[in-house]
Structure 1
Amino acid sequence: MLLLTLILTSAKLEGLTSHQVVSGISPVISDASPLEYLPQYLDLSDNDNSMEDTNAEYRTGFRSGHGDRFECKPCICSHSLSQYILANCSSRRLRDVPDSLPPELWLLNMTDNEIQLFNPESVLRYKNLNTLIISYNRKITHISNETFSNLTSGLVILNLTKNSISTIDDGSFRFFANLQQLDLGENSLTNITAGMFLGLRSLRNLNLTKNSIVFIENSTFDEMQHLKLLDLSLNKHLSYTVRKFPPRVFEKLFRLQSLYIQGNTMGDHSYPNSALQKLTNLKILSSDALLNCTFGPQLQSLKHLKELHLGTNCRLKNLTRDFFQYIPYLNTFVLSGCKLVYIDPEAYSNVPNLHTLEISHTSHTYDLYEAFDHLIGLQNSSLKVLRLKFMYRTHFPCRELHAQHAKYLQHIALEELDLSQNRIALIGLDFIRLLSRTLKKLVFNYNKITPFSFNLEQLAFLNNLLELDVENQKDDSNDFNSNDFSLATDSDHSIAPNSSTTLCNSLLYKTELHKNQALESARVPLKDSWPVKLPPNLSKIKASEFLDYGFFILGHVFQDNCSLKEVDLSDSYFSNWGDLYLSPPIKKIDLSSNYCRRINPKFFSKNSPLVHLNLQNNFLGDDFANDKYGNIFRNLNKLFYLDISMNLIYKLPNRFLAGLTNLETLIVSDNKLQLLNLTFRHLTRLQLLDFSRNSITGITESTRDDLDALAAITDFELDLTFNPLPCTCSGIELMKWLATTKVKLINQVNLQCRLENDVATSVGDLKERLNFLQRSCISKSLILVVSILSTMFVAVVLGLLLMYRYRWKLRYLRNVAIAKFIGFEPKKPQQGIFKYDAFLVYDSDDMQFVLNECVQELEVRRGLKLCIGDRDFMPGTYVASDIVSAVQNSYRTVLLVTPEFYDDDYVEYAVNMAINEAIHTSRQVLHLCLYQPVALAEMPRDLVAILKRNEFIEYPPEEEITPGLIENFWDQLTAAARQTD
Structure 2
Amino acid sequence: MMKLDLSENSVVGLPMCSFSDLISLKYLWLSKCQIISVASGLFANLKKLRTLDLAKNNLATLRNDTFSGLESLEFLNLQGNELRYQPWTFEPGAFHGLDSLTHLHLEGNQPDLPANFTYPDVALARVPTLQHLWLDGHPYALGRGFASLSQLSDINFVSGNGGFCNFNSDLPANFLSNLISKRPLNLRMVQCSISFIPSNFFDHVKNIFSLDLSFNRELSIDGFEKASKGLQNSTLTILNITEIVKPFSSVCNILNGKTFQYLKTTQLKELIVKSNFLVNVLPNAILDLPKTIEYVNLHRNNILKAFAFFTLASLPNLKIVDIAKQVYYEEDNRRLDFCDNRSKHIQNTFFMTTRGMDDDKPSVQENETFSFLAPYVLPLTANSRSSLNEKDPEPAEFCDGSAPSHYVWPVPPKLERLYASDIKLHYDIPQLFCSTKNVLNYLDLSANGIHCFGGPVHGLRSLQTLDLSRNQCYRINPSFFSTMPNLVTLLLSGNFLGEPLSSDTGGLVFSTLDRLQLLDLSNNVLKDLSEFTFQHNRHLRVLNLSFNAMSTFLPILTLNRKLQTLDLSNNTLLGFPESTCHQFLEFKKINSNFTVNISGNSDFVCNCDNLFFLNLILRQPEIFKGVALFRCQLDNGSFVRYDRLSQLLPELEFHCVAQSVFVGVLVTFFLVVGSLSVYGMFHYKRWQWKYLY
TM over 0.5: yes
Q: C-alpha separation between the residues in 1 aligned to 2:151 and 2:419?
A: 35
- Residue number among 314, 328, 340 corresponding to 2:165 in the alignment: 314
SS in 1 for 2:411: coil
1:645 aligns with 2:645: no
- Residue number among 284, 299, 303 corresponding to 1:430 in the alignment: 284
The aligned residue for residue 417 of structure 1 is 271
Alignment of 1:78-97 (within 5 A): none
Residue segments in structure 2 that go unaligned for 5+ positions in a row: 353-364, 378-396, 399-403, 660-693
- Verify the 8 A CA contact 1:550 1:569 in the aligned structure 2: no
SS in 1 for 2:580: helix
Q: C-alpha separation between the residues in 2 aligned to 1:741 and 1:275?
A: 72
Deviation string for 1:288-315 (max 9, x for gaps)? 3123x24334444433321222121221
Deviation string for 1:433-468 (max 9, x for gaps)? 333222222232323323x53243323322222222
Q: C-alpha separation between the residues in 2 aligned to 1:638 and 1:465?
A: 27
AA at the equivalent of 2:448:
S
Deviation string for 1:642-693 (max 9, x for gaps)? 2223334444443321221122233334444454443332123334334445
Change (3 A) 1:630 1:416: same
The aligned residue for residue 90 of structure 1 is none
The aligned residue for residue 570 of structure 1 is 446
Q: C-alpha separation between the residues in 1 aligned to 2:49 and 2:598?
A: 40
Q: C-alpha separation between the residues in 1 aligned to 2:77 and 2:224?
A: 31
Deviation string for 1:850-874 (max 9, x for gaps)? xxxxxxxxxxxxxxxxxxxxxxxxx
The aligned residue for residue 777 of structure 1 is 648
- Verify the 8 A CA contact 1:477 1:501 in the aligned structure 2: no
AA at the equivalent of 2:110:
T
Structure 1 or 2, whichever has the larger Rg, is 1
1:385 aligns with 2:262: no
Deviation string for 1:566-595 (max 9, x for gaps)? 222122222322466465333322222222
Change (3 A) 1:310 1:587: same
1:536 aligns with 2:409: no
Structure showing the higher helix proportion among its residues: 1
Q: C-alpha separation between the residues in 1 aligned to 2:91 and 2:605?
A: 72
AA at the equivalent of 1:777:
L
Alignment of 1:784-799 (within 5 A): none
- Verify the 8 A CA contact 1:582 1:604 in the aligned structure 2: no
Change (3 A) 1:529 1:346: same
- Residue number among 162, 173, 179 corresponding to 1:327 in the alignment: 179
Change (3 A) 1:302 1:520: closer
AA at the equivalent of 2:321:
L
AA at the equivalent of 2:327:
K
Change (3 A) 1:508 1:378: closer
Q: C-alpha separation between the residues in 1 aligned to 2:312 and 2:502?
A: 42
- Residue number among 286, 304, 314 corresponding to 2:151 in the alignment: 304
- Verify the 8 A CA contact 1:688 1:718 in the aligned structure 2: yes
Q: C-alpha separation between the residues in 2 aligned to 1:690 and 1:556?
A: 33
Query: Identity of counterpart residues, as a percentage?
Result: 24
AA at the equivalent of 1:433:
L
Alignment of 1:221-236 (within 5 A): 235=80
Change (3 A) 1:310 1:631: same
Of the structure 1 ranges 392-401 and 699-708, higher mean CA displacement relative to structure 2 is found in 392-401
- Verify the 8 A CA contact 2:239 2:268 in the aligned structure 1: yes
The aligned residue for residue 617 of structure 1 is 494
Over aligned residue pairs, what C-alpha RMSD do you find?
5.0
Alignment of 1:681-760 (within 5 A): 681-694=558-571, 696=573, 698-718=575-595, 720=597, 722-724=599-601, 734=613, 736-738=615-617, 740-741=619-620, 751-754=628-631
The aligned residue for residue 283 of structure 1 is 131
The aligned residue for residue 675 of structure 2 is none
Change (3 A) 1:326 1:579: closer
Offset of residue 636 of structure 1: 1.0
Change (3 A) 1:318 1:397: closer
Offset of residue 278 of structure 1: 6.0
Change (3 A) 1:583 1:618: farther
- Verify the 8 A CA contact 1:333 1:356 in the aligned structure 2: yes
1:265 aligns with 2:113: no
Equivalent pairs, count: 589
- Verify the 8 A CA contact 1:445 1:469 in the aligned structure 2: yes
Offset of residue 777 of structure 1: 2.3
AA at the equivalent of 2:471:
N
The aligned residue for residue 471 of structure 1 is 324
Q: C-alpha separation between the residues in 2 aligned to 1:694 and 1:220?
A: 69
- Verify the 8 A CA contact 1:536 1:561 in the aligned structure 2: yes
Offset of residue 607 of structure 1: 6.0
- Residue number among 223, 226, 235 corresponding to 1:373 in the alignment: 226
SS in 2 for 1:374: helix
- Verify the 8 A CA contact 1:191 1:214 in the aligned structure 2: yes
Q: C-alpha separation between the residues in 1 aligned to 2:245 and 2:581?
A: 60
The aligned residue for residue 58 of structure 2 is 214
Residue segments in structure 1 that go unaligned for 5+ positions in a row: 1-151, 479-496, 764-768, 790-981
- Verify the 8 A CA contact 2:522 2:546 in the aligned structure 1: yes
- Verify the 8 A CA contact 2:127 2:149 in the aligned structure 1: yes
Change (3 A) 1:314 1:754: same
Offset of residue 272 of structure 1: 4.6
Change (3 A) 1:464 1:727: closer
SS in 2 for 1:355: strand
TM-score of the aligned structures, taking structure 1 as reference length: 0.51
- Verify the 8 A CA contact 1:398 1:448 in the aligned structure 2: no
Q: C-alpha separation between the residues in 2 aligned to 1:340 and 1:634?
A: 57
Offset of residue 354 of structure 1: 0.9
- Verify the 8 A CA contact 1:417 1:441 in the aligned structure 2: yes
